[in-house]
Every structure is written in structure tokens, then in C-alpha cells.
Amino acid sequence: MPKPGKAFIFFNCDANKSEASMNIFYNKAVYKDTKSSRKNLWKKVQEEYGAERIQISYENLHSVEFAITEGDPVSASEFIQFGAIRAIDCY
């Protein structure tokens, strides 16, 4: 079986990031592990931040942007309150 690729999903969630609070049908988007898709994922996070549906301290915005666009998008979750990014295997 070939090695799977990655896809990322942004979830709005509770403060504890419980899986039960993560509804895949709320945002209805999956982001491929490509430069353009990562930019779109960053735009989604900015949109949610601007609408105050998630919280990110101002000093962590650059870290979140870098993790999403250049690094591991899942690691950005540690800086996001009421939101999380999860990875899934994509065949």
C-alpha cells in the first residue's frame, strides 16, 4: 500500500478541545498538504479569529501562521483556544 498523504481539518471546538465538540460538518472543508491549501487554511483561521469564534493571543499569531503555512499545522492548535487543527491520512 502506498504511503498516505496528509490532509488537515480545522475545527471549532470547546475550550478542552474534546473530540465530541469537533463537528466535521460545521466548516465542511478539508485542506490538502499543498502550499495553496495551507494558505486557505490560514485564511480560515484568520476569518475565525476576526469573527471572535476562536482566540489567539496577539504574540502567537506569527507562530500560528508559520505552523500552518510552513511547518506542522497541527502544532498551531496549542496556540488556538476554541479551535483545533487535526491531520488525517489521505490515500
pLDDT-derived band at 3 (thresholds 50, 70, 90) equals confident
Per DSSP, the residues of 34-85 read SHHHHHHHHHHHHHHHHTTSSB--GGGHHHHHHHHHTS-GGGGGGG-BSEEE
Give strand pairing partners of 64.
Answer: none
| Residue 1 binned pLDDT confidence (cut-offs 50, 70, 90) | confident
State pLDDT tens for residues 30-88.
999 999 999 999 999 999 999 999 999 999 999 999 999 999 999 999 999 999 999 99
Q: What residue spans define the domains of the chain?
A: 5-15+30-90
The answer to pTM > 0.85 is yes
User: 14 Cβ partners below 8 Å, 6+ apart?
Assistant: 21, 82
Cell numbers describing residue 1:
500500500
